[in-house]
Chain A
Amino acid sequence: MSGDKLTAAELAASIKEGALQLTEHGENVSRLCTKAQSEFNIFINFNPNDITKESERLAGKVGSGAELPLAGVPFCLADNICTLELKTTCGSRMLASYRPLTEDGAVRRLKEKGALLAAKGNMDEFGIGAGGRNSFFGAIKNPCNPEHTGGSGAAAAVASGAVSFSLATDRCGELRQAAAYCGVLGLKPTYGRISRQGLIDSAPSMEQAGIIARQTKDLASALSIVCGADPQDPTSSSCGVPDFNALIEEKPRSVKIALPYLWDDLAALEGEVKDAIAALLCRLEGNYFSLETVPLEYFHHASTTAAMISAVEAFSNLSNYDGVRFGFRGESKHLHDMYRQTRTEGFSSNLKKFLTFGALISSGKYYHDCFLKAQKMRSLIKDELEKCLLQYDLLVVPTVPFKAPLLGSGISPLLPDFAAYYTAAASLAGLPALTFPLKDPAQKGGLPVAGLQLIGKAWDEKTLLQVSLLLEEELL
């Protein structure tokens, strides 16, 4: 049995009770991952022996009677999150053989609770949104239809059934977008919920680790473990972490939902996506939910704003890739030449365009005309969203305006980035957001139709999870 239908908690229980042997289970996970890797290219530096070794280690731990709520639950880790035992490449040639000296705090917590690290997820170079089409290790295929992109290995691994959940980062919405492309759940918690120590991030003011899973209960299980203050991360919050597992059992009462006025007035919005979202919203009304349209002015500038800020931060954050101390080093005659060669050959042309964009808009007169204006717009977007969420429990919008793009279609790392049109606002405001998959009843081409995105109040992941569970169990 693959564990495909079991929740993480149920799987862990059957392992603890001995109904499922860990070594046997490990072989099964290894087989599923190997198959998924060969079909969809979702992992980097994949080695089935790593899974065998890890499950043997866990078997010893289970035998010792330790409290392991995630015993044997297989998970995938996006390859910009550090572990001591595996390489961390960020999908870049620059770090193709890089082994970090530190381990991510969230990963450490998951391992302590018995979770089984299966493999590192393939990803766009440094997580910079190109819809899973800009990895040094090749494009990521969508398990629902391999001609289309899977967005990220972390999402595709969950969709393929190889793992129960994934831990990945979300910059301007990449985690949510990939989950929507693959038809699975994706949750980006409030900025500061999960320690950022151990991430190789490119947009530190927005980037936040989150969870991708097939079932809401698995989101809750993983979230309960990875959240919490980390003294090593001054941006992490000391805000109390509730037991999400218990909280999602409560049904939400009369959730007030806001829908931005003219949410569907976007040329890039595909008709199918629009119709599916509109139909769902109709069904929600009256059923636990009240729905109102609210005028949002700045929300629509979020993706442009986020692109600018994240480009400047990426330009700065990736300045340490100079070939001096680690990673790829270009052949060169002298120091300046070494920088140039290292960065010319180590980064992809898409990434270089993005970094150049960041360098440009933070220099000379553009500093005031673009970068500072973007910073001001960010405050306006944040204030507007927070004000709206004083009166409503949730804001709903599509996750991505379109279905998973075809592989081989053009990538635009620059503006306008319509993929982030609906996701960027929550990133800029640091608010929690969850994407819920809408499956196509007619199964045209096998691709999921869309994701419904729920944006919540700061620290209120609870409502997002409760609504997600309600949709999952009763409404769809």
Chain B
Amino acid sequence: MQEFETVIGLEVHVELLTRTKLFCGCSTAFGAAPNTQVCPVCLGLPGGMLPLLNKTAAEYTIKAALALNCTVTPNLTFDRKNYFYADLPKGFQISQFFYPMGTNGYLEIHHNGESKKIGIRQLHLEEDTGKLSHFGDIISSPYSRVDFNRAGVPLMEIVSEPDIRSAEEARLYLQKLRTILCYLGISDCKMEEGSMRCDANISLRPVGSSELGKKTELKNMNSFRSVFRGIEYEVERQRTILLSGDSIIPETRHWDEAKGITRAMRSKFVSADYRCFPDPNIPPFPVDTKWVESIQASIPELPDAKYYRFIEEYGLPPYDAEVLTGTKELADFYEEVLTCYREPKTVSNWIMSELMGHLNAAGIGITEAKIKAKDLGKLLQLVGKGEISGKMAKSVFEEMFATGEDPELIIKKQGLAQISDEDTLDGIINTVLAANPQSVQDYHSGKKKALGFLVGQIMKETKGQANPQLVNKMLEEKLKSS
């Protein structure tokens, strides 16, 4: 059977976390009543104000371009992309068609311990559209509703090279992109709320071929999981067609999450001709080196740098490093624990199993957790010093996660502290020995099992709080000398 190679390129749109829209002062807050965050500019009213560029949006886009290793344009220019649609108030979208903010970048994904660079063709800034709702189909709907709150919200589009070879790589690319943008604090990248949207261009070609096959464009994937499932399905669909000797129809297809299939979209406006030209109302804005340098300086350590540093500096396995650098907050938490307890692998184990297990069960993120990094460090210190057992520590952790309380306080409250004081233990051992002369005799006559019984009695007497190692040591010394 013929072998095919999958070729995928992703077009990702993310809304930027600016307070106001790209060219006017309207709020970008999500979830307001329809058409309450609008003005003459974003409604495209005749004689409305002229567009005034939101510098923060430009800065965020430059930040993303730098973080994705792109070349940044020396001049910020905007163009008009002309087309008619009811969700597009001006009849054109202001975008960066001729000179995108960033070009020629890449990001790195890590898969099965291997790294791969995915090229970023370009990254640019544009306006979002309004939201249209019909009853069913646009033609048969008796009327349509439109909400312009979203119209003019700054949107960044990131176009990858067709370097992605599987649904899994697509998922990893998307996840890494989200991680980077979240690290930068420029977007919340919530696919479910539409602040991150992804379209995929998918084609297959015979293994060894360097030409691109006929592609389909897959839309309407509203979660990371549906991106993965949608691509998997579409790749299989194309493979089946190609194996049967047919060819792929280049078209736009919709992912149907409920049915788990993709289907061809009825095209409404077939208009690839956007008649782009520079927007005369927005003069070019120079991007000077100083500005770029100051933006560069404000970029925090990015996930990949952190990933390699964690491996290098803490000797962590790549898997641990990948998980711990998944969000900036988690990585920061990890490093804060380390300042109190410098056993990188132990801390990593605790975070990846206990902490993340609890977070997942509670369905919350690290920022919403009550437990403090310093306190986890303290808890691990106590375990290290042998003041509590590992088993006890887990129940203390549970309490810390639920209440956010100091571990020492919890240990005190629950009376969980380990008895490691030799004088106290000496008295208890003496009492137990006096009460069990038969076992002492058994021990001396060579029955080693008797030792275990005596330890058990001591633990029972101390409600399990005696330090077991110490008890063993002291008991043996005492028996040998008696």
Q: Which 3 A-B pairs have the closest CB atoms?
A: A319-B91, A205-B280, A82-B47
CB distance from A331 to the nearest CB of B (A): 14
Query: Are A325 and B89 touching (Cβ within 8 A)?
Result: yes
Q: A102-B49, A235-B280 are in contact. Are A320 and B275 (CB under 8 A)?
A: no
Distance A313 CA – B92 CA, assembled complex (angstroms): 11
Contact residue among B50, B90, B139, B277 (Cβ-Cβ distance under 8 Å from A320): B90
Among residues 206 to 263 in chain A, which have CB atoms less than 8 Å away from a CB atom of chain B?
A: 232-235
Specify which of A88, A234, A334, A335 lies most central, judged by the most chain B CB atoms within 10 Å of its CB: A335
- The reply on A101 being an interface residue by CB < 8 A is yes
Residues of B within 8 A of A (CB): 40, 43-53, 80, 82, 84, 86, 89-92, 138-141, 144, 146, 273, 275, 277, 280-283
Q: What CA separation (Å) do A325 and B46 show in the bound complex?
A: 10
Kindly report which residue of chain B lies nearest to residue A371, judged by CB atoms. B277
Smallest beta-carbon distance B253→chain A, Å: 23
Taking the complex as formed, is A359 at the interface, i.e. its CB lies under 8 A from any CB of chain B? yes
B49–A232 CB distance below 8 A:
yes
- Knowing A320-B44, A322-B84, A335-B86, the reply to whether A312 touches B50 (Cβ < 8 A) is no
The complex places the Cα of A362 from the Cα of B44 at a distance, in Å, of 22
Residues on the A chain within 8 Å of B45, using CB? 100-101, 320, 325-326
Q: How near does chain B come to A313, taking the closest CB pair, in angstroms?
A: 7
Contacting pair A232 B52 (CB below 8 A): yes
User: With the chains together, A100 CA to B86 CA distance in Å?
Assistant: 21
Structural contact, A327 and B46, CB atoms closer than 8 A: yes
Residue from A100, A313, A362 within 8 A of B280 (CB atoms): A313
Q: How far is the CA of A88 from the CA of B46 in the complex (A)?
A: 9
Residue of B nearest to A195 (CB): B50
State how many angstroms separate the Cβ of A382 from the closest Cβ of chain B: 14
Is the pair A320, B280 in contact by a Cβ cutoff of 8 Å? no
Say yes or no: B282 contacts A320, CB within 8 Å. no
29 contacts between A and B (CB under 8 A): A100-B40, A100-B47, A101-B40, A101-B48, A104-B47, A196-B50, A204-B280, A205-B280, A232-B49, A232-B50, A234-B53, A234-B283, A316-B82, A316-B91, A319-B82, A319-B84, A320-B89, A320-B90, A321-B46, A322-B86, A324-B86, A324-B89, A326-B45, A326-B46, A334-B140, A339-B84, A362-B277, A363-B275, A371-B277
The chain A residue sitting closest to B279, CB to CB, is A204
Q: Are B86 and A198 in contact (CB under 8 A)?
A: no
- The answer to whether A102 touches B48 (Cβ under 8 A) is yes
Contact across chains for B47 and A88 when beta carbons are under 8 A apart: yes
Judge whether B47 and A200 touch: CB under 8 Å.
yes
B281 / chain A contacts, CB cutoff of 8 Å: 196, 204, 234-235
Proximity bits, A296-327, B CB within 8 Å = 1, else 0 = 00000000000000001101101111101111
Residue numbers in B under 8 Å from A234 (CB-CB): 50-53, 281-283
List 18 additional contacts besides A102-B47, A336-B138; criterion CB under 8 Å.
Answer: A88-B46, A88-B47, A100-B45, A100-B48, A196-B281, A198-B47, A234-B50, A234-B51, A235-B283, A312-B275, A312-B277, A315-B275, A319-B91, A322-B84, A324-B146, A326-B46, A327-B46, A363-B275
Contact A367 B275 (CB under 8 A): yes
A residues in contact with B91, CB < 8 Å? 316, 318-322
Kindly list chain A residues whose C-beta atoms are within 8 Å of the C-beta of B146: 324
B48 close to A334 (CB less than 8 A): no
Q: Which residues of A are at the interface with B, using a C-beta cutoff of 8 A?
A: 82, 88, 90, 95, 98, 100-102, 104, 196-200, 204-205, 232-235, 312-313, 315-316, 318-322, 324-327, 334-336, 339, 359, 362-364, 367, 371, 375
A316/B275 in contact, CB under 8 A:
yes
Q: Are A335 and B138 in contact (CB under 8 A)?
A: yes
Residues on A with C-beta less than 8 A from B139 are 334, 336
On chain B, the residues within 8 Å of A322 by CB distance are 84, 86, 91
CA distance A88 to B40 in the complex (A): 15
B277 touches A316 (CB 8 A): yes
Which of chain A's residues have a CB closer than 8 A to the CB of B46? 88, 90, 95, 98, 100, 200, 320-321, 326-327
Q: Is the CB of B141 within 8 A of A334?
A: yes
Main secondary structure of the interface of B (DSSP, over half): loop
User: What residues on A are CB-neighbors of B92 within 8 Å?
Assistant: 316, 319
Interfacial chain A residues near B40, Cβ < 8 Å:
100-102
Beta-carbon contact of B275 and A197 below 8 Å: no
Name the residue among B45, B53, B138, B140 with the largest chain A CB count within 10 angstroms. B45
How near does chain B come to A27, taking the closest CB pair, in angstroms? 31
With a cutoff of 8 Å between Cβ atoms, the chain B residues found around residue A375 in the complex are 277
Assembled-state Cα–Cα distance A336/B134 (Å): 13
Taking CB atoms, residues of chain B closer than 8 Å to A200 are 46-47
Q: Which residues of B contact A371 (CB under 8 A)?
A: 277
Query: Measured between alpha carbons, how far is A176 from B275 in the docked complex, in Å?
Result: 31
* A327: B residues at CB distance < 8 A: 46
Residues of B contacting A335 with CB < 8 Å? Answer: 86, 138, 144
Taking the nearest CB of chain B, how far is it from the CB of A84, in angstroms?
A: 10
The answer to whether A233 and B50 touch (CB under 8 A), given A205-B280, A313-B280, is: yes
Specify which chain A residues have a CB less than 8 angstroms from the CB of B48 in the assembled complex.
100-102
Smallest CB separation, A248 vs chain B (Å): 31
In the bound assembly, the distance between CA atoms of A319 and B43 in angstroms comes to 12
A325 adjacent to B43 (CB under 8 Å): yes
Docked pose: A327 CA to B91 CA in angstroms: 15
Q: How far, in whole Å, are A438 and B419 apart by their CA atoms in the complex?
A: 113
A199 and B47 in contact, given A234-B283, A316-B92 (Cβ under 8 angstroms):
yes
Residue in B closest to A234 when the chains form the complex, CB atoms: B283
* Cα of A205 to Cα of B52 in the assembled complex, Å: 16
User: CA separation between A362 and B86, bound complex, in Å?
Assistant: 22
In the assembled complex, the Cα of A234 lies from the Cα of B86 at a distance in Å of 28
The smallest C-beta distance from A320 to any residue of chain B, in angstroms, reads 4
User: CA A50 – CA B293 in complex, angstroms?
Assistant: 57
**A233-B48 Cα distance, complex, nearest whole Å:** 11
CB distance from A201 to the nearest CB of B (A): 9
> CA of A98 to CA of B92 in the docked complex: distance in angstroms?
22
* A319: B residues at CB distance < 8 A: 82, 84, 90-92
The interface residues of chain A lying within 8 Å CB-to-CB of B52 are 232, 234
Once the chains are docked, how many angstroms separate the CA of A349 from the CA of B252?
A: 37
A358 vs chain B, min Cβ distance (A): 9
A residues less than 8 Å from B86 (CB atoms)? 322, 324, 335
Name the residue on B nearest A375 (C-beta): B277
> Which residues of B lie under 8 Å from residue A233 when comparing CB positions?
50
Contacts of A197 in B (CB 8 A): 49-50
Q: Which residues of the other chain, B, contact A95 by a CB distance below 8 angstroms?
A: 46
